Structure 1
Amino acid sequence: MRFIYKFCLFSLIVTTIPLLATEAKAKKIRPESPLRVFILKAELLAKTKQEISENKAAVLPAAKSLRGAADKVVAGPLYSVVNKEFLPPSGDKHDYMSMGTYWWPNPNTANGLPYVRRDGQANPEIKLLKNDKDLDNMIKGVENTALAYYFFEDEKYAEKAGQLLRTWFLEEDTRMNPNLNFGQAIPGVSSGRGIGIIDAHKFPVLIDAIGLLQTSPNWTEEDQRGIENWFTQYLKWLQENSNGRDAAREKNNHGTWYDVQTASIALFVNKTSLAENILESAFKKRLAMQIKPDGSQPYELSRTLSWTYSIMNLNAFFALASLAENVNLDWWNYKTPNGRSIRQALDYLLPYALGEKVWEKEQIKNLDSSALYPLLRQAACEFPDANYAQLADQVVDKKC
């Protein structure tokens, strides 16, 4: 069911990709739009909304799925960073706190400290700290209700999205402090790490969702100023705190997602020059470091979940390319002199998703070929000379 839901939701947003592909521009420059979205495409959202209003059969199942998901959010709880059983080292319950996913009690010491790493094996103790799960649920809830508000123009969805955002970011008793000082802590080793910034890698999704609420009376100018101020402070922390600087230096998906966060937030808080500087320098640096000429991603292939992390990192590269369109940079078609490109990275993974090749790198959990589907659908729009839309359907057929 989880796959079917994700498939339907994404299908709703990309239904008009074949149409848009035929209108592809030579340069990736975004048209002016009243929507402040930076990864999503406003023109694609508008076309999909029109098809929903016309009851086009192609979009109705996905629209129904989205409405059902949004209705569950409306009936569901609010989330706050203060709802946790343990206080962070600061003693301030408003500070976000999580534990390193793959770290376990040390079998060679009486007290289990310091914890030791088992890559790819999640320690169930992480569930004792609810902040990471609540953060994910909050973002997913805002995304679903904001999309539902935009597509269906029902204020109940914007009202719930506003409540979720105010509770997590703005209200004095429940707000999160704008830092991740204590993200992905390791008992006996560290109270928080730069790697912990990955916990907020969906903030760019949240920022686009906020952009869909701009016309609602349930999201006021005061709310917008408050959330922009929060993200301004968080961006400053990302750039100046030692955890942020550590994340920026990471050579794998952690570093790529750090760049996605900082660029997206810079655009959101109207620091366009900063966003352009990040997107200009980061993409080329990451591409040269992380993707080989054959399209493989060596830092992700070294993991015990090599397929999973290869796709996660490629998602970040796609997000960077989408963000770059906002500052008139075309990273979709950029290729280094020796052939490194994000398209090559996608093509490297494709035969494994289609079952044409056997994935021989370590993958200690089942290989989910459907995880490549959203990337293929997006590629169908960005590279209209290829048959990525048909290949995406083949990946879905193989999964089903």
Structure 2
Amino acid sequence: MKWSRSLLASVVGCALFAQSSAFAARHYDACLTYDCARMEAIKEAIARQDPRYLPAWQALLRDAETALSHPNYSVTDKTLTPASGDKHDYYSFGPYWWPNPVGKNGMPYVRKDGQINPDAKTNATDSKRLVQFADDLRLLALRWFYQPDQKYAAKAVNLLDTWFLNRTTRMNPNLKYAQAIPGQVDGRGIGIIDTRVLIDVADSIVLLEPSGLISPQALSGYKKWYADYTRWLLTSQNGFEEANWYNNHGAWYDAQVTAFSLFTGNVQQAQKQTDIFKLRHLASQVNARGEITSETERTRSFHYTNFALAAYAHMGRYGETLGNDVWGFGLDGRTMKKAFGVVSRQTGKPRTDWPYEDIHYTPREATGPMLAAARAWQEPTFLRSAERLVASNSRDINILLPGSVLVK
């Protein structure tokens, strides 16, 4: 259906800010990444059967129903064991590393950027399982929030307790053995990108708190796990490496530390990490034309540009909570707005107009970033880009996630 400017404004919540550079500092509230005020308005619209939201809502209903039948996920379910010998330690392989076709027994592994080795996404390790856990939890929490039914919240709480609290099944709060390379290294700092989905898990916990099914003891246990993990991120060698990574990994590290610090009540650390993001990663990753050069040089440049913008949008949202203007920040002509503008100008154009390599060009990946840009700046170019993408991707879950951005 055709979305008018006023209808789209309702979706992206354009009335929330007059200008990104002039927003007032908000009091810290329990909402983490999601814009809960907008979500309340969407809830009312869904109850009215508003056609703007029905395709995305119907997709959510279907997927949440499926999630009810899935098992409770645990890191102890993997068939391989990390170098520690402890299956409670998260374990994954680097997705772009493949057996060496000329090496003995496939060693040493070789890197093929953008080409995922399916052996890295099996139940032998934890990366697929972690994504399934976060995806199911998001679906169940959103389903409960938008149309409360305790069975969805109950399943979500079972998932949470299995992953974080149960002594037999819980994950240890570290990522020492993430994105290992067979025959080369037991784990790498770069593997910390895997736990970006734990931001969505924390968002889901926030949504589920009013259900009455999360006990104070359980909530305290979840927050302790997150606090312990954040401490590991800030003090480990792997965390140090990821904190200084030059591409989307560094931005997603910032987003994780900021989100987890807000979730656990450490506002001072969240504020510090937001400033680090602006000065260390945003200013160094975006050039004066708005290109995120570390992403445009890759074989999946459109995907990774949008993937980086998703991290940027998270930081913009946390800046709103902290009264720290990330959306409007600029240094030497390098701004977040220019970075979003690069994708906005490509929206609706053919693959041949994208001037960089992308072996799996997928236009819909820009839906979340453009909705975030329209919400933040409310300018005609971003509004048109968001309108075009929403019209062609009306079932996209980002339509129901104001404030957040999901790019897988």
Question: What's the TM-score, normalizing by structure 2?
Answer: 0.89
Partner of 1:371: 365
Select which of 133, 145, 148 maps to 1:150.
145
- Deviation digits for residues 28-87 of structure 1, max 9, x if unmatched? 3465586x2221111111111122233333333332222222111112221110111111
Is the Cα–Cα contact under 8 Å of residues 247 and 295 in structure 2 kept in the other structure?
A: yes
Tell me which residue corresponds to 1:316: 311
Match in the other structure for 1:392: 386
Among 201, 210, 214, the alignment partner of 1:215 is 210
Q: Take 1:323 and 1:204, find their aligned partners in 2: how far apart are those partners?
A: 12
Map 1:194-213 → 2, pairs under 5 A:
194-213=189-208
Q: Is 1:176 the counterpart of 2:171 in the alignment?
A: yes
Residues matched between the structures, number: 383
Which residue number corresponds to residue 261 of structure 2?
A: 266
Aligned CA distance change for structure 1 residues 45 and 301 (closer, same or farther; 3 Å): same
C-alpha distance in 1, partners of 2:393/2:42? 25
Using the alignment, how far apart are the partners of 2:175 and 2:165 within structure 1? Answer: 17
Aligned to 2:217, the other structure's residue is in SS state helix
Identity of aligned residues (%): 32
1:82-121 matches, within 5 Å, as 82-121=76-115
| TM-score when normalising by structure 1 | 0.91
1:60 to 33, 54, 63: 54
Residue 21 of structure 1: aligned partner: 14
8 A Cα contact 2:283 2:330, kept in partner: no
Q: Distance in 1 between matches of 2:9 and 2:14?
A: 11
Match of 1:283 in 2: 278
Cα displacement string for residues 230-254 of structure 1 (whole angstroms, at most 9, x for unaligned residues): 1111011111111111100100011
Question: For 1:354, which of 328, 340, 348 is the aligned residue?
Answer: 348
Aligned equivalents of 2:26, 2:315: Cα separation in 1 = 18
Is the contact made by 1:158 and 1:219 (CA closer than 8 Å) also made in structure 2? no
- 1:329 aligns to 2:320 (yes or no): no
Query: Which amino acid counterpart does residue 106 of structure 1 have in structure 2?
Result: N
Unaligned runs of 5+ in 2: 1-7, 395-408
Shift of 1:353: 3.0
- 1:15 Cα deviation after fit: 7.9
2-side partners of 1:64 and 1:350: how far apart?
Answer: 28
RMSD of the TM alignment (CA)? Answer: 2.0
- The question of whether the paired residues in 1 share the 8 Å contact of 2:176 and 2:187 is answered with yes
Is the partner of 1:165 in helix, strand or coil? helix
Question: What per-residue deviation string (whole Å, max 9, x for no partner) do you get for residues 144-188 of structure 1?
Answer: 111111111111111011011111111111100001110000012
Given residue 57 of structure 1, which amino acid in structure 2 is its aligned partner? P
Aligned mates of 2:16, 2:312 — CA distance in 1: 23
Of 288, 292, 295, which residue of structure 1 is paired with 2:287?
Answer: 292
Q: Which 5+ residue runs of structure 1 have no aligned equivalent?
A: 1-13
Counterparts of 1:176 and 1:208 in 2: how far apart (Å)? 19
Distance 1:350 1:277 in 2: 30
Match among 236, 241, 246 for residue 241 of structure 1? 236
Matches within 5 A, 1:26-37: 26=19, 27-29=22-24, 31=26, 36-37=30-31
Letter in 1 for 2:345: P
Aligned to 1:46: 40
Secondary structure of the residue aligned to 2:78 is coil
